[in-house]
Structure 1
Amino acid sequence: MKTRRFLVLSLAWLASSSALAHANDSSAQKAAGGLELIANDRVRMVAEDLRISPTAIDIQYVFQNDGTEDQELTVAFPLPAIEGFGLSQQPVDLPFPDQPNFVGFTVAVDGKAIEPELEERAFVGDRDVTAILRRHGLGLNPLGTGEKALGDLSAEDYAELESQGIATPRDFGEALWRYEAKFHFDQTFPAGRPVAVTHSYRPVTGRTFLVKSSIGDPADTRTYCIDAGTKRAMAGVIRKAAAASYEADPVENAGLKADPMDGVAYSAVVQYILTTANNWAGPIGTFRLTIDKGAPGNVVSLCQDGLTKTSPTTFEFTARDYVPKRDLAILFASPDNEGLRAPQ
């Protein structure tokens, strides 16, 4: 039987509200500049089971090649971009900052583990600055560690990056480039036979404090569809954080007893790109989304109709012949920062 070779670009991830995101499997092709998303009209996504929590993302897919020839595809998982500028003001957690596979991304096909490749590139606007950064010995990921940092450059080398709009003036010392990473692997989809693909990884999360003044932020209200009931629940999270702080140190935190809404809680943002699923043939046959807020005392908010509470921490949405119209942005709030962190 003939085998036709294509390139399929797939999943991505989620992270800070403006800097990061995760994605769904999709078709792609290898080009001189790197992997590019394309559409595939033979292989369809029979099922997707997606589970998202503040500390883990797990996806199970079933694909079916409805053509008469085997399809050899490059399946890619594009990690949403990390913007270098502003990271000092908006902390972002990198699960494994000292490793190239900084999210611990794993792949299995029909139960067999596969080692994906990683493509990394850096951009300022539409301009690819990967080669310039590598020439200066800099790591492309502005959140990574273990490689030369901007502050290690000579005055002459730094001036070159500054003149090209790749770095701020040296007194600020911040990256101005955007980091894009894609995991990818080659896979044959036999004609007429289903193929099961699973992915697991830890999301890159944008973290911030949750305080009284941030509950009514219009941008957050729109982005995460925060309604009146969720605002009251978030206020409850702040009061729980205040009570814990007062109990830990009644003298230093005496004011929190009088006004618990002066407390400080925590929030984390996870993003996931669903719309790349539209590059496969047809809609997703069966789609299930599970959101796990991590702890009963946590609060979660996102723009997704039809979610049903299934346990003290989980909510589910299911659909047939599902066509994603938008990507996911999920806000988690907790009175305890450890409630949003993965076990070490």
Structure 2
Amino acid sequence: MRACAATLLVLMTGPVFGNDTAAVLTTGGLEFVSHGEIAMESEELFISREEIRVVYRFRNDSDEDHQLLVAFPMPDIVPDHYSPVAFPMGPSDNLFEFRTLFDGEPVEAKLHEYAYAAGVDRTKFLQKLDIPLVSISQEAIDAIKELDAETIDDFLHLGLAAPDGFDAGSGWETHSWPNWIYRATYTWEATFPAGETVIVEHRYTPSVGGTTGVAFLSEPYDDGYDPAAEYRRKYCTDESFIAAVRKTLPDPDEPWGAPFTESWISYILTTGGNWAGGGIENFRLVIDKGSTDNLVSFCGEGVTKIGPTTFEMVKQNFWPQEELNILILERYEAQ
């Protein structure tokens, strides 16, 4: 049975970006592989809107040292130019301000970047045109604006651009926005000594998507999209969580009126199954919702509240079957 951290908030107060994996570089890019002799002994994961921190203990169960290419995949960044996205603003060669320690020593990780549109890798296509790969960056937006009409038509045909028409007071205008998915993975070489345990630590700035209002209280759209069902599937928003949000509505007939903004954080868990034993022997997750006025919901079992804003999930022999998606509702003062 799944428990929702938001449910804990309701009961207790009245109205609550990837795992390491082994990898190989092929002509098609990076591929994640399983490794049968190195076990993930433990993972301690902390997630907030501002930072993700993770500490692993890896144990080499063999009698030989293993030199591996270790990979840390980041969640895809899907462009949505109509929603507020808190995008990491680090330097171009370390966008997420990703930092790694291997047994206490700093590691220089390499960033691999890709651009996908309509399921096709268009990285080289964009690079030939000197288009920045980060689709929601201002640099990419400006680069699209400078393209000629023929090239824009090519971008629209390939799904690399999305058209936008509007009248800003001077007549109808049509513009195009970058529309490709940005995908990133960090890699580095590491030696896992025979019969020993090593500690790997990461911290980085997550990419946080969201909306300026609450999107999941409305009725299904005319095209069939049901936001409430989608949020239940993705964030396990149960009835207690929904009721807590509805209580804040100034007008029950205005579902967009709840005094919250949404923040979405994703973390790749499933690659934790690529190590010996197929899972994580000891797993601990702590999520910080940021403020006691905020609400949080995510899919998890055995979630407990351990602080005014923090929630914990502890698992043994954890074999993640899906990625972790977190919804934080940030409270603001209604005007």
Q: Which runs of 5+ in 1 are unaligned?
A: 1-21, 243-255, 338-344
For the 8 Å contact 1:234–1:333, the answer to whether it is kept is: no
TM-score by length of 2: 0.81
Alignment partner of 1:299 is 2:292: no
CA distance in 2, matches of 1:191, 1:315: 36
Aligned position for 2:155: 161
Q: How far off is 1:324 after superposition?
A: 1.3
Report the AA paired with residue 159 of structure 1: D
Aligned position for 1:66: 61
For the 8 Å contact 1:97–1:143, the answer to whether it is kept is: no
CA distance in 1, matches of 2:151, 2:306: 56
Q: Percent identity?
A: 35
Equivalent runs, 1:81-120 vs 2, <5 Å: 81-84=76-79, 87-96=80-89, 99-120=92-113
Aligned position for 2:48: 53
Q: Which protein has greater RCO, CA pairs closer than 8 Å, 6+ apart?
A: 2
Aligned position for 2:237: 226
Q: Deviations over 1:223-248 (max 9, x none)?
A: 21112221233235x46xx7xxxxxx
Q: For 1:128, which of 121, 140, 161 is the aligned residue?
A: 121
Count of equivalent residues: 296
Alignment partner of 1:176 is 2:141: no
CA distance in 2, matches of 1:103, 1:120: 12
TM-score by length of 1: 0.79
For the 8 Å contact 1:215–1:231, the answer to whether it is kept is: no
CA distance in 2, matches of 1:208, 1:90: 5
Q: How far off is 1:42 after superposition?
A: 0.9
Aligned in 2, Cα 1:228/1:111: closer, same or farther, shift over 3 Å?
same
Q: How far off is 1:190 after superposition?
A: 0.7
Aligned in 2, Cα 1:110/1:260: closer, same or farther, shift over 3 Å?
same
For the 8 Å contact 1:47–1:285, the answer to whether it is kept is: yes
Aligned position for 1:210: 213
CA distance in 2, matches of 1:207, 1:70: 44
The alignment yields a C-alpha RMSD, in angstroms, of: 2.4
CA distance in 1, matches of 2:263, 2:214: 13
Aligned in 2, Cα 1:128/1:326: closer, same or farther, shift over 3 Å?
closer
Aligned position for 1:235: 246
Q: How far off is 1:38 after superposition?
A: 0.7
Q: Which runs of 5+ in 2 are unaligned?
A: 1-16, 165-173, 220-227
Alignment partner of 1:39 is 2:34: yes
Aligned position for 1:150: 144
Q: Deviations over 1:120-168 (max 9, x none)?
A: 1112234221111111110011022346520012233333333434223
CA distance in 2, matches of 1:318, 1:213: 29
Indicate the SS of the match to 1:157: helix
CA distance in 2, matches of 1:232, 1:138: 46
